[in-house]
Structures are given as C-alpha cells and as structure tokens.
Amino acid sequence: MQRTDIASSAHKATIFGCLCDFPSAICFYLHPNYRLSMGAKSQFTEEQNSWLNPVMGEFKAKLTQATGGSSKDDSLLDWKKAKCEDFLREFKIQLEATDDSISVWRERVMRRFINTKARSKESRSVADSRPLLLFPEDDTVGGRDLYRREHMVAINAEATKRREEQGQDSRQHAGHYQRVLRERWDGLSEQEKVGWVEKAEKLQHDDSWEDPQIYRNHEQFAEIMCNLFRGMIGPGKNRVGQAEFHLMYGFRSFDEALDLGWYAYNFTCHHSPKLIYC
C-alpha cells in the first residue's frame, strides 16, 4: 500500500494506492476535501489583467483561424512572442519594481496563452471531445494588492496629476501609478499593513470554495478517469497490458454533503475494455 500526501495552503488530500498481480488492480482513495481545481495564485495586477484580457480574446480568435485550431503555427507563435514583449515594455517599471526577473514575467505571460488555449472550446479538436479539468487563475489578492484595489481611484487621480504637471503623456502613467501606490503603502504603519493582510487572507478563505469550476470538475471526474484508464491498459506501447483498475472517490458537494463513488475498468485478452459502475 502506497500513500501520497498532496498539500496546499488551504487544503490537503491523501491518496492511497495499491498495485497487485493479474488481474492487476490499482485502487485509489481521494480525500473529499481535495480540490481538483486548485490553481496558482495570479501574479498579475488588475491593471495588467486589463491589458492582457483583450490580447487573449484576440488570441482565441486567431486559434480558430489557424489550421486545425493549432497554436503551433509559426506566425501565431511569433505573434504571441511579440505581444509578450509589448507587455514587458508597457509595464517595465512595475515589473522591475518586483522581486522577480523579466524572464520570469515573460514565462508567466506565455503561460497565460497556454491557459487561454486550454479554456478555449474553439481551440479543441472535434476528434478529442474528452473533458478537461480546468485550473482557473486565482483572483484572490494579498494585503498590498487589496489596498490598491480599494484606493485605485485616488491613486489613479494622483498619478494623472503628477504626469500632467510634468507634461507627460499616458505612456508614463504606469510608472507614476506604481510610485504613488508604493508611497501610500510604505506610509502605512505596521499595524495598518497587518490589518490589510489579515483582511485579504479572510477574503481568500471565504471565497476559496466559491469557484463553480470546482463542482464542474467533480461532475466530470468519473469520465475523465475513465479516459485516463482507457489509455493505460490493454496491448500496445506504454500500456500496462491486461489489468483492472478500481477507483473509489469522494467529494464534498456545494451543500456540504459527501458524494462518494466507485467503479472498475478492466481488460482481458478476449474482451474489450469494460467499465463497471456501482
């Protein structure tokens, strides 16, 4: 019996598995608090997302025009790289003020294209209609970003005032915006900063189960696992041969009920793969 713990900042899951001789069997138990749709926290500010969202919309439109909906077309790849560099230039001052290098930010923008393609129904091949587990970007924020959101109007107004006083156009607005934000945040007392951090943590905790994608993932879980098993057993390269999988799973539903399920998927030399529900 093998045990694996999967932990996140807010949730923990325990998976048990065992592998036996033929008829081979792999049994899994998923703790009901395991969130399939836990994703990485968004590193982009609201202003940066406002710039990126139209670009992603244009990207999805280009995906439908590409042959077979592929994003591997050379011209489309060049377009993505160009947009990525545009973003890095647009927010150069903001990004350099963070602890991360420009190469890290470049990777994050390119990852945004990958996530957008995964979410885009138009980009999926008609031949492959299997459902996907989605990992939506987390919109929760830290204390400083929450402070920025709630004071955005005042910060914008001050940034505009400084820019106009210096006779500058909107291209310099982002730099003034970040300087005003930094000055205001640094001007807070340690107790005030702690208050904003605690408020952000509370919002993150309260909202952590509100994402409807979590429950859509739950509904599609059995079919997704069926497709996974189908690709693993039976004859052929990178397959385990004659085998039988047994899966036991459980989730906590939206109304706090415990939803449990079990099924087996097997293959023999004389029969096609067979799915057995209980």
Tens of each residue's pLDDT in the chain, 278 residues: 344 333 333 333 333 333 333 333 334 433 333 333 334 456 889 899 889 999 998 988 888 776 554 445 678 888 999 999 999 999 999 998 888 888 889 888 988 888 888 776 544 543 344 444 454 444 445 788 888 888 888 898 898 899 889 988 877 888 889 999 999 999 999 888 888 888 877 776 555 445 566 666 777 777 777 777 777 777 777 777 777 777 777 777 656 677 777 767 666 544 444 444 44
Residue 155's CB: how many other CB atoms inside 10 A?
Answer: 22
pLDDT at 267: 61
- What is the pLDDT at residue 254? 59
Alpha-carbon distance 91 to 51, whole Å?
10
* DSSP category for residue 121: G
Written as six digits, the tokens of 66 are: 């590409």
Burial of residue 229, with CB atoms counted within 10 A of its CB: 0-12 exposed, 13-18 middle, 19 or more buried: buried
Give the number of C-alpha atoms closer than 13 A to the C-alpha of residue 257, restricted to the C-beta side. Answer: 5
Q: How far is CA 166 from CA 33, 97, 162, 180, 274, in A?
A: 55, 22, 6, 15, 73
CA nearest to 118, candidates 138, 135, 130: 135
3-state secondary structure 140-168: CCCHHHHHHHHCHHHHHHHHHHHHHHCCC
Bridge pairing between strands 2-7 and 12-19: antiparallel
- Read off the amino acid at residue 193: K
- Please, which residues have CB within 8 angstroms of residue 269's CB and are 6 or more apart in sequence? 242
SS3 state at 245: strand
Non-local CB neighbours of 223 within 8 Å, separated by 6+ positions: 130, 131
Cα–Cα separations (whole angstroms), residue 158 to 161, 166, 171, 276? 5, 13, 16, 65
How far is it, in rounded angstroms, from Cα 128 to Cα 119?
Answer: 14
Q: Does the pTM exceed 0.75? A: no
Residue whose C-alpha is closest to residue 245's, from 261, 272, 225: 225
What tokens were used for 182? 């930094």
Q: Is 24 helix (H, G, I), strand (E, B) or coil?
A: strand
Strand, coil or helix: what is 83? helix
